[in-house]
Chains A and B, each alone.
Chain A
């Protein structure tokens, strides 16, 4: 059902956890649907210096969460805002069709975390 890359990120997820006193936090999903993702970021010089995730969900939900953290670490906030759910799925080499909508929300969680950071830090939100 899942390809090797998805299974690798599912079984060996990168950047699991929660950053203490994070600069930004974003949570998406809903327990009703079975997928909830939370991403926390630390921002330095307008770049994502650290990022961690926690996810309640299926294999695709966990793998996309792991992949998005790997994709955007070190990117500027503007660059990170450009990373879409679709790009995350592509970086994983594709997801089963039925997983594209319900479980592929990790980029949304990231964008929420960045927006949260920008709301709290209006002065240096430009990056």
Chain B
């Protein structure tokens, strides 16, 4: 992707924020194009136009299902990861209200999960927020200990979005199954990056997002295991087995399907390539800059995910300098979160506030090369020393 690596001024451009979003792949855009104007039908219509759109949606459904080892009829299309999380959590809580009022989640979930749980607490549900270790990892034993007769849902993420740690969802799935508790997994960051098999992992509900895996924005899916019942959140027509009313986003769904097909096909090779780049970036930074700490698990982490804290300096300052050098990254600093508190994930891992404010997340993707990584490793040390020279703490 030449447009990705160099701009007209000749400054190298390196996008390292693939956990925020990814570009839509050319193959994906090509698959979507016919469904905007030519084959524009409503999949619910019985005529030719409708049938064409229906066939495209069902073809995409099969591709999404295939990525996670599900059956096509177990896939419910949504507007994205957040809606899928809402449907899974509130949909389960409302449906099972008569069976119990207790949910189990963790302190490092995405806000789409945490804030949904908080709204349920206001409705009278009880929620256990499990702690994590210094790597941001949940202990399956803690999950088992938290289960009560009232527990109706366990919701735990797969790949942690801020620090990249891969949570032990398979072990937690076994526990959930043994206790007969519904198990939801937010796999927005891991789907298409590492293998997922919903049967092997004993997962009942699983959230996916298209735009994190080179598909378009505005589309996602919730896997709903056959036999698992939910209360719909968007009510209306009988679309998506009555679980999500509203005319399907046909071009988006087609693009998402194609993105899933490509991700599955390329995963073995691409995850190895990304892991090599990731470890080159981590090693390069830790070796060349003193007082740096890797956040998240050193090995049980997403193949594309790097998060490093730079002692004595603040994340936004680093991001601004990186941006001027053509590098796009993100931070767990309060300054970039729009609140006064730094990342809830880094604090839950026990990081002191200074280190949480000094964290930088760099998430790799298809457009990144070894040269990109070496460029980042070459520009970071002078940025860090300049900011440290300015800092109160040194």
Give A residues with C-beta under 8 Å from B: 2, 7, 10-11, 13, 16, 27, 31-38, 54-62, 98-99, 102-103
Would you call the interface of chain A mostly helix, strand, loop, or mixed? Answer: mixed
When the two chains form their complex, are residues B357 and A102 in contact, meaning their CB atoms are under 8 A apart? no
CB contact between B390 and one of A27, A32, A54, A98 (< 8 Å): that residue = A54
What does DSSP make chain B's interface, helix, strand, loop or mixed?
helix
Question: What 0/1 pattern do residues 292 to 322 of B give for CB contact below 8 A with A?
Answer: 0000000000000000000011111100110
Q: How far is the CA of A62 from the CA of B317 in the complex (A)?
A: 9
Which among A37, A38, A58, A102 is the interface contact of B317 at CB below 8 angstroms? A58
Chain B contact patch, size range: 20 to 34
Contact with A along B317-340 (1 / 0, CB 8 A): 100110010000000011100101
Residues of B within 8 Å of A102, CB to CB, are 334-335, 340
Known: A33-B334, A34-B342. A55 touches B353 (CB 8 A): no
**From A7, A10, A33, A54, contact of B391 by CB (8 A):** A54
Query: Which residue among A2, A13, A57, A99 has the maximum number of chain B CB atoms within 10 Å of its CB?
Result: A57
How far in angstroms is the closest Cβ of chain B from A118? 23
- With an 8 A cutoff between CB atoms, is B144 at the interface? no
| A17, chain B: closest CB distance, angstroms | 8
Bound Cα distance A99, B391 (Å) = 19
Q: Given contacts A13-B390, A16-B389, A34-B353, are A58 and B313 in contact (CB under 8 A)?
A: no
Please, how many angstroms separate the alpha-carbon atoms of A10 and B317 in the complex? 8
- Are A10 and B320 closer than 8 Å at their CB atoms? yes
CB of B392 within 8 Å of the partner chain: yes
Contact A56 B393 (CB under 8 A): yes
Cβ contacts under 8 Å, B389 to chain A: 16
Residue of A nearest to B313 (CB): A56
Pair A55/B390 contact, Cβ less than 8 Å? yes
* A34–B314 CB distance below 8 A: yes
Q: Which of A55, A58, A60, A62 contacts B333 (CB 8 A)?
A: A58
Q: Is the CB of A36 within 8 A of B338?
A: no
The smallest C-beta distance from B320 to any residue of chain A, in angstroms, reads 5
In contact, A59 and B392 (Cβ under 8 angstroms): no
Return 26 A-B CB contacts under 8 Å, by A number: A2-B320, A16-B389, A31-B354, A31-B357, A34-B314, A34-B357, A35-B314, A36-B393, A37-B392, A38-B392, A54-B390, A54-B391, A55-B390, A55-B391, A55-B392, A56-B313, A56-B391, A57-B317, A58-B314, A58-B333, A58-B335, A59-B316, A59-B335, A60-B335, A61-B314, A102-B334
